[in-house]
Amino acid sequence: MKAKIGIYVCECGPNIGETIDIPRVLETIPALEGYEDVELVPKSFGLLCSPAGKEYLAKEITDNGFTHLVVAACSPRDHNSTFIGVCKEAGLNPYLYKIINIREHCGWIIHDKEAATDKAIQYIRSGISRVLYQSELFERQLEITPDVLVIGGGIAGMEAALSLASHDRKVYLAEKTGELGGKAARFASLLPRQGRGADVIREKIKAVEENEHIRVHLNTELESSIGFLGNFEVVLAGNGDDEKTDLKVGAIIIATGYRMSDPGSFTGYEYADTDEVYSSLEIERMNGGEGIALRSGAKPASVALIHCVGRQEKGYCSRICCNYMMKIAGYFKKQSGATKVTEFFFDMCLPHKADQEFFDHSVGLGIDFKRVKEIGLSGTSVEFAETGGGKQKMDFDMVVLASAMEPSEDTEALAGLLEIDLDERGFFKEAHQTTDPVATSIDGIFVVGASQGPRGVSDSMLLAQATAGRIRCQLKPGGKIVPEVKVSEIMEAYCTGCRTCLEVCGYGAIYFDDQKGISIVNEAVCRGCGNCFGSCPSGALRTKHFTNKQLYREVTEALK
């Protein structure tokens, strides 16, 4: 069939109507060289994006039986989606259409009308040339499973599971250890603003255990995962036995939490096991058990709490230490009001609206806050200089260190297994720090809680709820997903198996077929970024709608 291309110039009022000689454009197009086999139908209209314009264009497409469409108008940012809608309505595959921006690129910036017109013609010609080589693409709908795998049974993982489990969505919760609750389960209390305190954790554990839509796998880790949003096939493996569980899930939530860095590993804090120096988690454990005591069993009469241990070395503030150190100070004061508690801090970090009240309350308890510019430890003797003061030394019965939170030990292995990115600090990396903070580089894999960065209990739960929000929107029970259509494809005959594309793919969309010795693109995962296409040395890859031929035709005509 002979191609018949409709070319519609939008006047856009005076914006194109007065800046470009439209009659000359319409006259020139049918006589373009090299298109003798193609029927070119150029027309103009007042305002194509108006309701009347859209109706007109749709009717023109149907009445004329165009095989392709070029719209010469404004920036695609303004109205590309408008005209895609018109094509769909008129029954023309939208991948056989192209918008050409003759307003911003020509009319608005070139004051000589003839020159602007010349450039507009050149652009339109390049659009005609490209559109001829474009192919129809079709959206596919894929079935999905709404079920979710949560890795990690701490507070974030439990909250995510509880937010998602329902009669039409099953949640599998894999926990590496033999019990749910994570580190927070050991805390005697949470922050005072967290009114219900540690009961919250116990309530969550009970709710998870009683929820028939949540299946808990204790002593279990992720062994493998392949697939994409809506369709992951995962294998869980027991870490004490050989039990394997195959699951099909639509999304994976990582909630593997954090670990406390070893405070003794930081300069100035090297202490011996026999010293009365403890990490904050050790104090939590003592407080939850027999009470906080020295190795002799005696209760300490004086305690130093030191903030920001490892902040400089790690290169980040752990966000919650100021708050939990005040909470720990409260443990000592509750144990004995006579305990002399001194907190050494660099910057008091109180980013939540209720935190300042907690600080004021702590001051009221008689806790001595000392702002320091330097500090060092020798046994339980603290050498420090307050801001604005000289060096001093104070001796204490006990010292408690708030060391930096760091990624939990299996973070790197899990990232490797799931092919998702870590940030420079070793935490899981967000898809976008500001606008997409719970997603990762792979669609359908989310990260919540302190595995994404230092977080407290409340923030971890909020992240879990945010992820639940994302999954509820993306994976509706009984729903389908529509993957990107402008994806890469591999021409098997040309692939030499060099694996360059595997290196450059940021989405884990390419895998290597060992039997065939070639790379394979998983079209459901590919986002069409074109990295593989650009890097393939043998020209075996192409990205749909951005093929070499299409780009070459577009560029050569534009440069003619």
Partner 1 sequence: MSHHESVVVVGAGLAGMKASLMLAHAGKKVHLVETLPIIGGATIKNEESFPNLECSTCLVAPIQQEVLQSPDIETMTLSAVEKIEGDKGNFTVTVRKAARYVKIADCIGCGMCYEPCPVSVANEWEENLGERKAIYVPCAGSLPNVPAVDKEHCLKLSGKQECNACVEACMFGAVDLDDKDETVNIEAGAVIVATGSGMFDASSLPNLGYGKFPGVYTPFEFERLFASNGPTLGEITIRDTGKVPAKIAIIHCVGRKEQGYCSGVCCMYSFKFAHFLKKKLPEASVYNLHSDICVPDKSYQKFFDGVKGTHTEMLYNSSMEDLKVSSNGAGLKVVYLDEAGAEREIDVDMVILSVAMVPDEGALGLAEALGIERDARGFFKVLDEGIVSVESSREGIFIAGTAEGPKDSQSSVIQAEAAVGQVLAFLESCRPEAAEALAEDLKA
In this complex, which beta carbon is closest to partner 1, that of residue 52 or of residue 555?
Answer: 52
Interface with partner 1, residue 288, by CB under 8 A: no
Coil, helix or strand at residue 407? strand
Among 178, 240, 337, 388, binds partner 1 (CB under 8 A): 388
Name every residue whose Cβ is closer than 8 Å to that of residue 334 and which is 6 or more positions away in sequence.
none
Interface with partner 1, residue 431, by CB under 8 A: no
In this complex, which beta carbon is closest to partner 1, that of residue 222 or of residue 450?
Answer: 450
Interface with partner 1, residue 461, by CB under 8 A: yes
Query: How many residues in the shown chain lie near partner 1 by CB under 8 A?
Result: 71
Among 392, 433, 548, 556, binds partner 1 (CB under 8 A): 433
Closest CB 522 distance from partner 1, rounded Å: 23
Which stretch in 114-122, 126-134, 159-167, 247-255 sits in contact with partner 1 by CB under 8 A? Answer: 159-167
- For tokens 């500001």, what's the residue? 434
**What is the C-alpha separation between 15 and 48, in angstroms, rounded?**
13
In this complex, which beta carbon is closest to partner 1, that of residue 186 or of residue 472?
Answer: 472
In this complex, which beta carbon is closest to partner 1, that of residue 65 or of residue 469?
Answer: 469
Contacts to partner 1 from residues 32-71, by CB under 8 A? 47, 49-51
- Tokens at 369, concatenated: 């806050």
Among 436, 492, 503, 513, binds partner 1 (CB under 8 A): 436
Q: Of 442, 418, 469, 428, which Cα lies nearest the Cα of 255? A: 428
In this complex, which beta carbon is closest to partner 1, that of residue 12 or of residue 510?
Answer: 12
Contacts to partner 1 from residues 526-555, by CB under 8 A? none
- Binding track, positions 174-193, relative to partner 1; x by CB under 8 A: ----------------xxxx
Closest CB 194 distance from partner 1, rounded Å: 4
Closest CB 405 distance from partner 1, rounded Å: 9
Exposure string over 448-457, b if 16+ CB within 10 A, otherwise e = bbbbbbbbbb
Q: Of 41, 38, 40, 42, which Cα lies nearest the Cα of 9? A: 42
* Helices 155-164 and 199-210, packing angle to 10 deg: 50
Contacts to partner 1 from residues 2-21, by CB under 8 A? 12-15
In this complex, which beta carbon is closest to partner 1, that of residue 231 or of residue 452?
Answer: 452
CB atoms within 10 A of CB 243: 12
Among 63, 212, 241, 514, binds partner 1 (CB under 8 A): 212
In this complex, which beta carbon is closest to partner 1, that of residue 81 or of residue 381?
Answer: 81
Interface with partner 1, residue 317, by CB under 8 A: yes
Residue type, 278: Y
**What is the C-alpha separation between 168 and 475, in angstroms, rounded?**
11
**What is the C-alpha separation between 62 and 480, in angstroms, rounded?**
30
In this complex, which beta carbon is closest to partner 1, that of residue 256 or of residue 465?
Answer: 465
Which stretch in 177-185, 294-302, 434-442, 523-531 sits in contact with partner 1 by CB under 8 A? Answer: 434-442
429 contacts 423 by C-beta, under 8 angstroms? yes
**What is the C-alpha separation between 151 and 431, in angstroms, rounded?**
19
CB atoms within 10 A of CB 465: 18
Interface with partner 1, residue 105, by CB under 8 A: no
- Element (DSSP H or E) covering residue 399: strand 398-403
What is the Cα gyration radius of the chain?
32
Among 23, 34, 62, 81, binds partner 1 (CB under 8 A): 81
Closest CB 265 distance from partner 1, rounded Å: 19
In this complex, which beta carbon is closest to partner 1, that of residue 316 or of residue 546?
Answer: 316
302-309 and 340-345 as β-strands: parallel, antiparallel, unpaired? parallel
Q: Of 450, 401, 88, 423, which Cα lies nearest the Cα of 271? A: 401
**What is the C-alpha separation between 537 and 498, in angstroms, rounded?**
9
In this complex, which beta carbon is closest to partner 1, that of residue 91 or of residue 388?
Answer: 388
Closest CB 216 distance from partner 1, rounded Å: 18
40 contacts 68 by C-beta, under 8 angstroms? no
Among 2, 36, 63, 167, binds partner 1 (CB under 8 A): 167
Contacts to partner 1 from residues 192-211, by CB under 8 A? 192-196, 200
Among 389, 506, 534, 539, binds partner 1 (CB under 8 A): 389
**What is the C-alpha separation between 493 and 489, in angstroms, rounded?**
12
Contacts to partner 1 from residues 348-377, by CB under 8 A? 348-357, 373
Largest CA distance in the chain: 100
Which stretch in 36-44, 265-273, 316-324, 414-422 sits in contact with partner 1 by CB under 8 A? Answer: 316-324
- Write the CA distances from 305 to 59, 349, 392, 396, integer angstroms: 76, 15, 16, 10
335 contacts 292 by C-beta, under 8 angstroms? yes
Contacts to partner 1 from residues 469-488, by CB under 8 A? 469-470, 472-474, 476
Which stretch in 126-134, 413-421, 422-430, 533-541 sits in contact with partner 1 by CB under 8 A? Answer: 422-430
- For tokens 């009470």, what's the residue? 291
